[in-house]
Amino acid sequence: PRLANQIAAGEVVERPASVVKELIENSLDAGATRIELEIERGGHKRIRLRDNGGGIAKDELKLALSRHATSKIATLDDLEQILSLGFRGEALASISSVSRLSLTSKTPEQSEAWQASCEGREMDVSIVPAAHPDGTTIDVADLFYNTPARRKFLRTEKTEYQHIEDVVKRIALSHPQVGFTLKHNNKVMRRFAAVKPENQAQRLAQVVGQKFVDNATALVLEHQGMKIQAWLGNHNMLRSSNDCQFSFVNDRGMRDKLILHAIRQAYEMSYGAVEQPAFVFYLTVNPKDVDVNVHPAKHEVRFQQSRLVHDFICKAVFDALCEECG
């Protein structure tokens, strides 16, 4: 099973930041309102996440780590299928096959916490009692220690950390009601206190800065069942802002080409050629009209009526920018 998991992991655990993303998404699924991340050496030495979510019951700990059945990759066709499924139900199994992973958790119903870790080639799971409040801690140490080829692709500690911070920022921007703490090498790098969903601008200020929020053009627009909420940087904020491009579809962070193209085109129409516009952009559409599982890492979406969505975005952004510049 270890080898099978490693094959899947090779495709989906690209780098420490992809681990962080999967772990945070699990915590959100578990209803956590506080998520604390401790990163060491760009995540390559250690990624530790602690949450206050619903926890994992003792008799489900093993299942959480070993959901990936070997029989699934009996043939090459099957392997293709698993890879295209990406991480669905595979994240922890995959991550634990390329790291030293331990899972400590307590549900409110249990009087004590339990810790599970994987060992050996067959990934036998051992379970021992532990001390832990309600919620879960996942500790991922020595990522890629047993897959040298993967490890070679890791960039510098600083670069890997930047990717992690980017993931945390993106998720924080779509979950204002969750508090986040991000430490790197024992230093608190980011702290986003929980805010009410209606105070989204406050979360924006925490993540991208009060200055951006104060100077950006705010846009809220609904049309034919689609909704845009956006903060658009004006032409004075364009330079060195490529680290401030965040787009979301139904609250999932995306780097969707169609959306980026539509926004870019609107900026070009408003200001002429523009290098890197800064924006935080939320699109809400009927889930029926969008497929969010096109890309295994889930960065791209497919709209049923892509032209319509593109033009809606482009026009909305153009109108908002033009109103601003008069």
Q: Which residues of the chain form contacts with ligand ADP (CB under 6 A)?
A: 22, 26-27, 30, 51, 53-56, 64, 67, 88-93, 136
Instruction: Report in angstroms how near the CB of residue 54 gets to ligand ADP at its nearest.
Output: 6
Instruction: Report in angstroms how near the CB of residue 64 gets to ligand ADP at its nearest.
Output: 3
19 binds Mg ion (CB under 5 A): no
249 binds, among Mg ion, ligand ADP, none (CB under 5 to 8 A by kind): none
The token duo for 61 is 């700990």
Binding to Mg ion by CB under 5 A, coded x per residue (else -) over 67-86, reads --------------------
Q: Are 267 and 321 in contact (CB under 8 A)?
A: yes
Q: Are 22 and 87 in contact (CB under 8 A)?
A: yes
DSSP 76-110: HHHHHHHHHHTTTTTHHHHHHHTSEEEEEEE-TT-
User: What span, in angstroms and rounded, lies between the C-alpha atoms of 216 and 236?
Assistant: 10
Q: Are 250 and 292 in contact (CB under 8 A)?
A: yes
**Residue 126, CB half-sphere, CA atoms under 13 Å: how many?**
5
In Å, how far are 153, 249, 318 from 258, measured between CA atoms? Answer: 29, 12, 16
136 binds Mg ion (CB under 5 A): no
Q: Binder to Mg ion among 26, 27, 94, 102 (CB under 5 A)?
A: 26
DSSP 28-56: HHTT-SEEEEEEEGGGTSEEEEEE-SS--
- Interface segment toward Mg ion; rule CB under 5 A; list 22-30, 128-136, 150-158, 166-174: 22-30
Q: Position 171: which residue type?
A: I
256 binds, among ligand ADP, Mg ion, none (CB under 5 to 8 A by kind): none
Angle, in degrees to the nearest 10, between helices 16-29 and 157-174: 20
Instruction: Report in angstroms how near the CB of residue 72 gets to Mg ion at its nearest.
Output: 17
Binding to Mg ion by CB under 5 A, coded x per residue (else -) over 242-281, reads ----------------------------------------
How many residues in the shown chain lie near Mg ion by CB under 5 A?
2
Instruction: Report in angstroms how near the CB of residue 273 gets to Mg ion at its nearest.
Output: 41
Instruction: Report in angstroms how near the CB of residue 251 gets to ligand ADP at its nearest.
Output: 17
Nearer to ligand ADP, 16 or 55 (CB): 55
**Taking the C-alpha atoms of 26, 32, 35 and 40 in order, what is their torsion angle to the nearest 10 degrees?**
-30
Nearer to ligand ADP, 27 or 265 (CB): 27
Nearer to ligand ADP, 235 or 299 (CB): 299
27 binds Mg ion (CB under 5 A): no
51 binds, among ligand ADP, Mg ion, none (CB under 5 to 8 A by kind): ligand ADP
- Interface segment toward Mg ion; rule CB under 5 A; list 18-26, 55-63, 98-106, 136-144: 18-26
30 binds, among Mg ion, ligand ADP, none (CB under 5 to 8 A by kind): ligand ADP
Looking at the chain, which runs of residues are DSSP E strands? 34-40, 46-51, 100-106, 113-119, 124-130, 135-141, 179-184, 187-192, 217-223, 226-232, 245-249, 252-254, 279-284, 290-291, 302-303
Contacts of 317 (CB under 8 A, 6+ apart): 219, 230, 232, 262, 263, 266, 267
Nearer to ligand ADP, 56 or 143 (CB): 56
Nearer to ligand ADP, 15 or 21 (CB): 21
The token duo for 183 is 């430490």
91 binds Mg ion (CB under 5 A): yes
Interface positions with Mg ion (CB under 5 A): 26, 91
